[in-house]
Chains A and B, each alone.
Chain A
Amino acid sequence: MINTEGMVAETATKIFTDLCPREVPHAAEAGEYPLALWDALQENGLTLAWTSEDTGGFGAEYDEVFGAIWASAQAASPIPFAETLIANWMLDQAGLAPADGSASFALSGHTPSADIPFGMHADKIVLFDEAHQEISLFDNREAVRSPEEALSPDGMTQFIFSGHVAEQTAKTNLSRRAIEALVLTVRAVQMAASMEAALDLSIGYVSEREQFGRPLSKFQAIQHQLSVAASETAAATMAATQAASALIKHKDDPEKAWHEAAIAKVQIGHSVEAVTVPFHQVHGAMGYTQEYDLHHYTRRLWAWRDALGNEHHWSKLLGEELAATAPDQIWKGVTTGDWTGGERTAS
């Protein structure tokens, strides 16, 4: 589950409320990186929440960390908090010490470069090299970086992994699917939280904005658009919560949480259009301005649905897996969330 009320989540929520008011994501777009916010998270140890105690972290409960990630997304925080958590989790799984400072991550097959969120800001980059079954930590500041035309205000960067010497490297038993399970679940939590925040903004806006002598909220056409968006937001919350629960259940073997994470990816990825269209529509031109807050959420939703492959790509991946699964096992998965059944038919 996503625990927004535990101590870790509450500490995070307080930091985001105090140090990430709406001006902060706006200022970040103008190039002002919120160092005070980052420092507060780091001083409170939150960036090491998924690092085990023997390497300096505090091994917080997963559900509370998801609560902290929820809070970071609702504040549209323009810092690599979730990315650092993921990077440090990867390092921890490989028995390596956490990154010094902020970090982002990349999953690489044979290719030497990868799209990296927050690539221009993160101090370190953690790379999962699938071909060699290695996890490595690089210093980002020495790398050849080129910012890409990005959907998200957080940016996407090409990092050229060529001739760079890793600060740390270790062999890992972690599979690509295990890492995907974690990354997709974290993104699902961020996306559900962003949808909820954008829904709240939309409800507030239509309740105040008047046309034809009454608030927009009194028009049935507006009510129904936001009802549909609310349904999709609720479904996204469920999908993220279910993925988070699967990961908590299988934290010693995260690969087993892959199906529920992929389901969340597909469910939420497909619903991005179903929510961002009405959110922008009810806001009129105001929602299209940089001055207003809506794009802090909608642009991140558009970027996150593409991360690690978009919803169409993942529908196919999941579908391929399911097409090779016996129909009674599929039913078992749908009804109980247990996708471990091995009985297969020919694909």
Chain B
Amino acid sequence: MQRFNFPVVEPDPALEELRAELQAFLKEELEAGNYRREPECWMSSADPEFSQKMGKRGWIGLTWSSQYGGHDKSALERYIVTEETLHAGAPVGAHWIADRQHAPMLLEHGTEEQKLDILPRIAAGECYFAIGLSEPGAGSDLANVKTKAEKVDGGWKINGQKIWSSGAHICHYMVALLRTSPADGRNRHVGLSQIMVDLNLPGVTIKPIVDLSGDAHFNEVYFEDVIVPDDCLLGDEGGGWKQVTGELAMERSGPERFLSSYVTLETALWQLSGKMGSDSKARLGKLIANLRTLKGMSWGIANLLNQGVSPETEAALVKDLGNRLENDLTQQVRAMLTDLPAEEWSPEMRRILNIGVLRSPPNTLRGGTTEVMRGITARQLGLR
């Protein structure tokens, strides 16, 4: 028996056909000047118009039933779409999170009415969701959330604050992890629930946080006596912790955990065509070996998830390795580009590389920091 199991899954011709369609569309849009390629595009480049185009092509909501506006395809089709949009560095940030995690959450826990109302809009690229986990006092220590939802007649009254909510300023909903009853002594995992909040409700205030590059993609979100109806409780009252950690485990191994900066490498490869020295070639060889290996791991896990198996340890490992690789890639490209006099770099190369450097710190933070990932792995190894 091997400790780590990653099935090797051969490419499927139907999936490769889908890939070719994506590539053609993305190339056409790029050449028409409808977007600029950027690293970390799934998080930091949002363009509702682009999301709607993706929706029209049927590339959002692939995994759910056509009854709710989806396309009855598997998570593997969705994987190809996400992989190619990352490759292109396309502005997919508006719909990414709703498509990845909130739609599946609604499918599992939402009312029929919510599913019929919201899911088709997500699939059309028109309705976006924000993640409501972090608070000023709850980062890696997520169980420390203090934002409260009190039971009131016919619903819940919410007071408190969420922070680092990416895209909240353009999102329609947030799914927030809230305290619905007190902790049981030292057990803080009880009494937490997931509640969907319409961000247009009275009492919700969204304030942008400007990041070090001058962008304002994340936000503070304040709740002051915000009333949401009963059916906005997703899943079990008090079951929020289990639901959240289960979802996080599913999201750690996708292509956005190791391919976010690939666009930087590819741009450099075109720039350096025929001009690479032997040091750069060695760096390229190593990078591609790392990327191919990570792809194998991530794709193997995607196939297991698609069969209903959730390999939690392997997923945490992929995130730790993948996030480090994304940042390493940017640094290796900086070194490789010394084969070309700086005045010969294209403006596009300079722009993409600089964005890549500026956007590197959050890679090892979001979705669970490196330290949290290593803690999870240590527990799985039996060390905690």
By the criterion CB–CB under 8 Å, are A227 and B3 in contact? Answer: no
Which residues of B are found within 8 Å of A319, using beta-carbon distances? 276, 280-286, 288
By the criterion CB–CB under 8 Å, are A1 and B7 in contact? Answer: yes
Contacts A199-B3, A317-B285 known; 10 new A-B pairs at CB < 8 A:
A70-B2, A203-B382, A223-B378, A237-B6, A263-B293, A266-B286, A315-B285, A315-B286, A318-B285, A337-B292
Q: Which of B113-121, B157-165, B313-321 participates in binding chain A?
A: B313-321
By the criterion CB–CB under 8 Å, are A241 and B289 in contact? Answer: no
Q: What are 19 sample pairs from A and B whose C-beta atoms fall under 8 A apart?
A: A1-B8, A70-B2, A203-B383, A223-B378, A231-B320, A231-B321, A231-B377, A235-B294, A238-B297, A266-B285, A266-B289, A267-B290, A270-B289, A318-B289, A319-B280, A323-B281, A331-B87, A336-B16, A346-B273
Which residues of B are found within 8 Å of A260, using beta-carbon distances? 292
By the criterion CB–CB under 8 Å, are A242 and B293 in contact? Answer: yes
Which residues of B are found within 8 Å of A196, using beta-carbon distances? 2-4
* B384 CB-CB contact with A under 8 Å: yes
Q: In the complex, which residue of chain B has the Cβ closest to the Cβ of A339?
A: B292
A79 and B222 CA atoms in complex are apart in Å by 67
Which residues of A are found within 8 Å of B280, using beta-carbon distances? 319, 323
By the criterion CB–CB under 8 Å, are B292 and A333 in contact? Answer: yes
Which residues of B are found within 8 Å of A5, using beta-carbon distances? 1
By the criterion CB–CB under 8 Å, are B11 and A336 in contact? Answer: yes
* B269 CB-CB contact with A under 8 Å: yes
Given A217-B383, A231-B320, A267-B293, residue A316 in contact with residue B8 (CB < 8 A): no
* A47 CB-CB contact with B under 8 Å: no
Q: In the complex, which residue of chain A has the Cβ closest to the Cβ of B380?
A: A230
* B83 CB-CB contact with A under 8 Å: yes
A330 and B347 CA atoms in complex are apart in Å by 23
By the criterion CB–CB under 8 Å, are B375 and A223 in contact? Answer: yes
A320 and B276 CA atoms in complex are apart in Å by 9
Task: Determine chain A's interface SS by DSSP, over half rule.
Answer: helix
Given A316-B282, A327-B266, residue A334 in contact with residue B2 (CB < 8 A): no
Q: In the complex, which residue of chain A has the Cβ closest to the Cβ of B297?
A: A238
* A164 CB-CB contact with B under 8 Å: no
Which residues of B are found within 8 Å of A199, using beta-carbon distances? 3
* B367 CB-CB contact with A under 8 Å: no
Which residues of B are found within 8 Å of A331, using beta-carbon distances? 87, 262, 266
* A194 CB-CB contact with B under 8 Å: no
Which residues of A are found within 8 Å of B295, using beta-carbon distances? 334-335
By the criterion CB–CB under 8 Å, are A322 and B281 in contact? Answer: yes
Give the interface residue-count category, chain A. Answer: 35 or more
Contact with B along A179-208 (1 / 0, CB 8 A): 000000000000000001001100100110
Which residues of B are found within 8 Å of A206, using beta-carbon distances? 383
* A226 CB-CB contact with B under 8 Å: yes
Which residues of B are found within 8 Å of A346, using beta-carbon distances? 273-274
A346 and B275 CA atoms in complex are apart in Å by 9
By the criterion CB–CB under 8 Å, are B382 and A345 in contact? Answer: no
Which of B266, B269, B283, B297 lies in contact with A234, CB distance below 8 A? Answer: B297
By the criterion CB–CB under 8 Å, are A230 and B377 in contact? Answer: yes
Which residues of B are found within 8 Å of A220, using beta-carbon distances? 375
Which of B269, B283, B317 lies in contact with A327, CB distance below 8 A? Answer: B269
Which residues of B are found within 8 Å of A266, using beta-carbon distances? 285-286, 289
* A157 CB-CB contact with B under 8 Å: no
* A130 CB-CB contact with B under 8 Å: no
Contact with B along A222-244 (1 / 0, CB 8 A): 11101110111111011101100
Q: In the complex, which residue of chain A has the Cβ closest to the Cβ of B283?
A: A319
* B300 CB-CB contact with A under 8 Å: yes
Give the shortest distance, in Å, between B138 (CB) and chain A (any CB): 20
A231 and B262 CA atoms in complex are apart in Å by 21
Contact with A along B287-307 (1 / 0, CB 8 A): 011111111110010000000
By the criterion CB–CB under 8 Å, are A334 and B291 in contact? Answer: yes
Task: Determine chain B's interface SS by DSSP, over half rule.
Answer: helix
Q: In the complex, which residue of chain B has the Cβ closest to the Cβ of A234?
A: B4
By the criterion CB–CB under 8 Å, are B281 and A316 in contact? Answer: yes
Given A230-B317, A233-B4, A336-B11, residue A203 in contact with residue B381 (CB < 8 A): yes
Given A224-B378, A319-B280, residue A234 in contact with residue B314 (CB < 8 A): yes
Give the shortest distance, in Å, between A200 (CB) and chain B (any CB): 7
* B109 CB-CB contact with A under 8 Å: no
* B108 CB-CB contact with A under 8 Å: no
Q: In the complex, which residue of chain A has the Cβ closest to the Cβ of B378?
A: A223
A268 and B273 CA atoms in complex are apart in Å by 28
By the criterion CB–CB under 8 Å, are A2 and B2 in contact? Answer: yes
Which residues of B are found within 8 Å of A70, using beta-carbon distances? 2
A238 and B317 CA atoms in complex are apart in Å by 12
* B374 CB-CB contact with A under 8 Å: yes
Which of A203, A218, A245, A322 lies in contact with B285, CB distance below 8 A? Answer: A322
> Looking at B19, B87, B289, B381, which has the most chain A CB atoms within 10 Å of its CB?
B289
* B371 CB-CB contact with A under 8 Å: yes
A319 and B280 CA atoms in complex are apart in Å by 8
* A314 CB-CB contact with B under 8 Å: yes
A207 and B378 CA atoms in complex are apart in Å by 12
By the criterion CB–CB under 8 Å, are A241 and B87 in contact? Answer: no
A-B pairs with lowest CB-CB distance, top 3: A319-B281, A319-B285, A318-B285
By the criterion CB–CB under 8 Å, are A222 and B383 in contact? Answer: yes
Q: In the complex, which residue of chain B has the Cβ closest to the Cβ of A197?
A: B3
* A14 CB-CB contact with B under 8 Å: no
A199 and B291 CA atoms in complex are apart in Å by 23
Which residues of A are found within 8 Å of B289, using beta-carbon distances? 239, 262-264, 266-267, 270, 315, 318
Which residues of A are found within 8 Å of B282, using beta-carbon distances? 312, 315-316, 319
A336 and B299 CA atoms in complex are apart in Å by 10
Q: In the complex, which residue of chain A has the Cβ closest to the Cβ of B325?
A: A235
* A347 CB-CB contact with B under 8 Å: yes
* A338 CB-CB contact with B under 8 Å: yes
Which of A2, A228, A242 lies in contact with B292, CB distance below 8 A? Answer: A242
Which of B4, B270, B314, B320 lies in contact with A227, CB distance below 8 A? Answer: B320
By the criterion CB–CB under 8 Å, are A330 and B288 in contact? Answer: yes
* B187 CB-CB contact with A under 8 Å: no
* B278 CB-CB contact with A under 8 Å: yes
Which of B2, B286, B382 lies in contact with A237, CB distance below 8 A? Answer: B2
Which residues of B are found within 8 Å of A238, using beta-carbon distances? 4, 6, 293, 296-297, 300
Contact with A along B101-138 (1 / 0, CB 8 A): 00000000000000000000000000000000000000
Contact with A along B25-51 (1 / 0, CB 8 A): 000000000000000000000000000
Give the shortest distance, in Å, between B277 (CB) and chain A (any CB): 9
Which residues of A are found within 8 Å of B300, using beta-carbon distances? 238
Give the shortest distance, in Å, between B10 (CB) and chain A (any CB): 8
Which residues of B are found within 8 Å of A321, using beta-carbon distances? 285
